[in-house]
Each structure stands twice: as structure tokens, then as C-alpha cells.
A = this chain, B = another copy of it.
Amino acid sequence: MDAREILQNTSIRLTPVREAILGVLLNERCPMSYREVAARLPEGQDRVTLYRALSLFLKEGIVHRVMDMKGTWRFCAHDPGHPGCPGNHPHFACRVCGRMECLMEHSLPHLEVGPETVVEGKHLVLYGICWECVVKKTRKKETGSS
């Protein structure tokens, strides 16, 4: 399912900007910051329009949103047929390359809190070094010391 089709299944209007933005998210399939999305759009695209499109996608439920370790929101287009609520899974953030990935295979833990407290959602972010950055670092060390 491409961006056009997905947008036509919602109540919002289909515009070139929105199609382009959703297209970027569908291409990468990992949570992206507004900045990362903007870098893959035609230069000169207005920041505000991008922010508003992302918020709208979120409201329509065609993307989910995670906060990374720098305090910026990242948006990710999920497969429309995926089980469970969108974004209802943990994420991993690499502090070296800055990328984030969805840990779709895991579910969020259940925690028992006070009986009156209302838990509306959970954010679980693991952070560290992704395997790609680990491999790169290992290679560099080997070639450096030999």
C-alpha cells in the first residue's frame, strides 16, 4: 500500500506535500524526526506544514510517534494490517548513529500501579549501540591496532 492509497482511506485531503511526507516515512519504516523527514523532501519545504502533516497523520492513526533520547518526537508509518495498537511496542535508539528502530516483536510490560491511577500509555525506549555501529567500531579497532 503506497502513500496515496493510505491517504485516500482517511478523511483528510490528499495533497502533494502529504503524499511526499508519508512516502518518506513508508520508505524508511523507522521512527524519523521532523529533521530527517525534511532532509528527504524537496528543499524549501515549510517546517510548519511538515509538523502539521505529521500531527494529522498521528491523529488519523496512520503513523505512530516515539520520543527519542534527545527529546524530539519521531514518527513512523506502520503496516496498516499490523496487530495491536500502532506504536504499542518498545523501541531501540542508537546513540552513535542516532537511528531508532521499532522492536515490533516485543510487547510493552504490564506494571501494577496504585488502583486509582489511570495508565493511558507506556513509553519504553532501550538505548545503546545498534549492531551496525558495533560492527563498524569493531572493524575500526581491528584495522587500527594491526
Instruction: Digitize A103-129: 1 where CB-to-B-CB distance is under 8 Å, 0 elsewhere.
Output: 100100101111111111111111111
Known contacts A73-B71, A106-B111, A131-B116: A122-B121 contact under CB 8 Å = no
Question: What are the residues of chain B within 8 A of A112 when measuring CB–CB?
Answer: 106
Closest Cβ neighbor of A114 among chain B residues: B131
How many of these chains are in the complex? 2
Query: What is the interface of chain A, defined by CB distance below 8 A to chain B?
Result: 67, 69, 71-73, 90, 92, 95, 103, 106, 109, 111-131, 134-135
The 15 listed contacts between A and B (C-beta, < 8 Å) are A71-B71, A71-B72, A92-B117, A95-B120, A106-B112, A109-B109, A111-B126, A113-B126, A117-B129, A117-B131, A119-B126, A119-B127, A120-B129, A121-B126, A122-B125
